[in-house]
């Protein structure tokens, strides 16, 4: 039993140690990278042309060109909007996974705490049944109750012990 574990600590441990959540977080980082990449233009293409002439009156002719996709300037906002929409979907999925995990951990933590309380209550019940069985046995020896009555109390004590053991095993 983890008596020292608070509900908040259980949630923190689950959030930090959940591989599925980590995979969603990685997907979120990829979504941010895709969004940033969507805002970039394609690299321009540089071209250099050199023409050499074998005649002395002509000099060397050099041309430099830079080409870029002009449509890229118009498509960047559309690509960014599409990636931003994808990013919002990924963020929503991530947030939902976090909330689902928190809910599951809180419910399970409450179930464990409830079982611990039931187990403590059953331990007290076992003690009462043990005292009742001992008292019945002493009363039988004194002749105040029948052997059947004393044996019934002893059986009730053993049943309470078995129930407590079963609950303890269930909690473990």
The pTM assigned to this predicted structure is 0.65
Tell me the average confidence (pLDDT) per consecutive run of 10 residues in the chain, 172 residues long: 77 92 90 91 85 71 82 89 94 94 95 91 95 95 94 95 91 78
Q: Are 168 and 160 in contact (CB under 8 A)?
A: no
pLDDT (0 to 100) of residue 4: 76
Closest CA to 33 of 87, 76, 74, 78: 87
Report in angstroms the alpha-carbon separations of 84 from 27, 36, 55.
14, 9, 60
R_g (Cα) of the chain, nearest Å: 39
pLDDT (0 to 100) of residue 92: 94
Report in angstroms the alpha-carbon separations of 92 from 30, 36, 45, 80, 97.
15, 19, 39, 18, 9
């Amino acid at each position: 039993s983890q008596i020292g574990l608070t509900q908040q600590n259980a949630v923190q441990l689950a959030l930090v140690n959940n591989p599925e959540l980590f995979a969603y977080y990685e997907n979120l980082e990829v979504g941010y990278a895709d969004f940033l990449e969507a805002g970039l233009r394609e690299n321009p293409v540089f071209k250099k042309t050199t023409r050499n002439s074998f005649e002395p009156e002509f000099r060397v002719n050099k041309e430099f060109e830079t080409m870029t996709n002009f449509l890229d300037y118009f498509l960047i906002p559309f690509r960014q909007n599409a990636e931003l929409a994808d990013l919002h979907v990924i963020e929503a999925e991530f947030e939902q996974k976090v909330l689902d995990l928190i809910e599951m951990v809180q419910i399970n933590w409450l179930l464990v705490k409830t079982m611990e309380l039931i187990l403590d209550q059953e331990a007290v019940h076992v003690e009462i049944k043990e005292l009742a069985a001992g008292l019945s046995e002493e009363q039988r020896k004194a002749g105040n109750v029948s052997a059947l009555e004393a044996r019934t109390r002893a059986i009730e004590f053993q049943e309470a012990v078995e129930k407590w053991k079963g609950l303890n095993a269930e909690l473990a």
